[in-house]
Amino acid sequence: MKITPYKMGWAAIISALTCIILITVALFFTQKSADNKGERPGSSASVNSPASVNNTSPTNWPIFRSDTALTGSTTGNLADSLDLLWKYQTDGPISSSAVVYSGLVFVGSDDGYVHVVKLKNGRKVWTYKTEDAVQAPGCVVDDMVLVGSLDCYLYCLDRQTGELKWKFKTGDKIPGSVNWYRPDPKGSARILVGSYDNYLYCLDAADGRMIWKYESEYYINGAPALYLLAGDSSDTGAINGQVVFGGCDAHIHILSLNDGKKIHTIDVGAYIAGSPALAGGRFYVGNFEDTFFCGDLSTGQIVWRHKTEAEAFYASPTVTAEKIVAATRDKHLYCFDRADGKTLWTFTASSGFDSSPVICSDKVIAASDDGWLYMVSLAQGKEIWSFEIGASLTASPALASGRILIGAEDGYLYCFGE
C-alpha cells in the first residue's frame, strides 16, 4: 500500500509550533516548582540509613563532613588537574570549613563575619557580623544556615538574605559544627551543637528553644554525628537513632536522639579533638595521642584499634564502603581497612595535618599546615595533583560540582576546579 504524505499548511505549522512552545514552558515551571518544594539540604532520611555511607549530592556539601553521619565523602567527578578559579578575601584568618548549597558557599572568618559568596565566581552575596571569630563550619537546613561563634552564640540566619532568625547562648565558645535531624516529617528540624561549656544541646530549629542538653566532663570541640536505626518511628514524633560525639574528656559519648540520655560512654585514653565518622553501625575516630579506634554503636565495645608511631589525630577521618582515611600531625595520611584496621597505604606530606581529609569517589583531598593542598588516589595513596597556597591550612576542604573550596590563614577562601 502506498502512503501519501500529509501536506501541512502554514496555519497548521504555526499552530503546532505554538503548542510545542507552550508545553515546554509549562514543563519547565512544573519541574522548577517541584525542585523548590521537595529539596531539603542534607536530608537525614537518606544520609543516616545504616546501609548508606555516601549519599550527598555531588553538587552540594551542606554540612561539615558532607552528611549527617560525618563520612567526609561524596560522589561525582573531580579532574586530575585543577586550576585556581577564584579567591575571596575576608579580614581575618579562615579556620572555618566551608559548606555549599544551591550555588552558594558559606564560610566563617576570624573577622567575626559569616560570609556567603557565589560558587560560580566568588562574588559576595551577604555577610553577617557576630561578636567574635567564626571558626565553626556552617550547616544548611531548609531555608536556614546555622553557625556557632566564639562569642558563645549559635546563630540561625536566613539562607538567602542573612537576616537573623534567632540566636541561642551557650556558656562558652562554639568551635564545632551543628548537626540536625527531623523527628517528624511535617515538623521542624532539631539542631545539635556542642560547646566549650561541656554541654551538647538539642534545639528546635523553628525558634531555638532548648529541647534537651547533655553534660560531658570537658570541652566539646568537634561536631556530633548522627545514626538512624532501621525501624525508626518518625511518624510518631520519636526517632530510633543515636547521636555520637567525642569529647576532650577522652570519651566517645553515644546518646539517644529522642531525649539525650546516655547509652554508652567509651574511654579512648586521650582527648578527642575531631569528629567521629559513622558507617555500618560503627564509629571511627582518632585520639589526641597516637591511636585510631573503631567501635560498635550498639554494644559500646571497641572492635579494633590501630596504634601508630604518629603524633596526634587532630583531624576528623573520612570513610567509604571499605576504607578509612585519617590524617595526623606527623605529616601522614593513613588509609585503613574498615573491617580490621589494617594499614592499606600511607602518604607523607611536607607538614602535619590539622585539616580533615575528604573523599570524592576515587580521590582523597587533604590540606597540610604549611599550605599545600594535595589530591591522592584512594586506591594506592599516590599523589595526583598538588597546589601550594602558601598560607597555613587548618580548615577542611568542601567538594561541590567538581570544585574544591578551602579557606586559609591568609584570610582568603580559595576555589579550585576545571
The residue that leads in pLDDT, 186 or 57, is 186
Average pLDDT of span 230-244? 65
Q: Which long-range contacts (CB under 8 A, 24 or more apart) does 152-158 make?
A: 152/195, 152/197, 154/178, 154/191, 154/193, 154/201, 154/203, 154/208, 155/114, 155/128, 155/130, 156/191, 156/205, 156/208, 157/114, 157/128
> Which residues lie below 8 Å from residue 243, measured CB to CB, with a gap of 6+?
179, 192, 200, 224, 225, 226, 227, 254, 255, 256, 257, 260
- Mean pLDDT score of the chain, rounded to an integer? 88
User: What pLDDT is recorded for position 276?
Assistant: 98
Q: Are 392 and 384 in contact (CB under 8 A)?
A: no
Distance from C-alpha of 311 to C-alpha of 53, rounded to nearest angstrom:
28
The residue that leads in pLDDT, 12 or 280, is 280
CA nearest to 257, candidates 271, 241, 245, 275: 241
Residue 271: strand, helix, or coil: coil
Q: Which three cell numbers stand for residue 363?
A: 580521590
User: What pLDDT is recorded for position 238?
Assistant: 57
CA nearest to 333, candidates 318, 225, 137: 318
For the chain, domains (ranges, CATH) are: 57-417 (2.130.10.10)
Residue-wise pLDDT for 345-392, tens only, equals 999 999 999 999 999 999 999 999 999 999 999 999 999 999 999 999
User: What pLDDT is recorded for position 184?
Assistant: 86
Q: Phi then psi for 34, rounded to 5 degrees?
A: -65, -40
Residue-wise pLDDT for 82-119, tens only, equals 999 999 999 999 999 999 999 999 999 999 999 999 99
Amino acid identity at 147: V
Q: Are 227 and 48 in contact (CB under 8 A)?
A: yes
Residue-wise pLDDT for 192-207, tens only, equals 999 999 999 999 999 9
Average pLDDT of span 222-250? 79
Distance from C-alpha of 159 to C-alpha of 165, rounded to nearest angstrom:
10
Amino acid identity at 315: A
CA nearest to 105, candidates 121, 128, 92, 85: 121
- Kind of pairing between the strands at 144-148 and 210-215: unpaired
The residue that leads in pLDDT, 144 or 29, is 144
Average pLDDT of span 4-16? 41
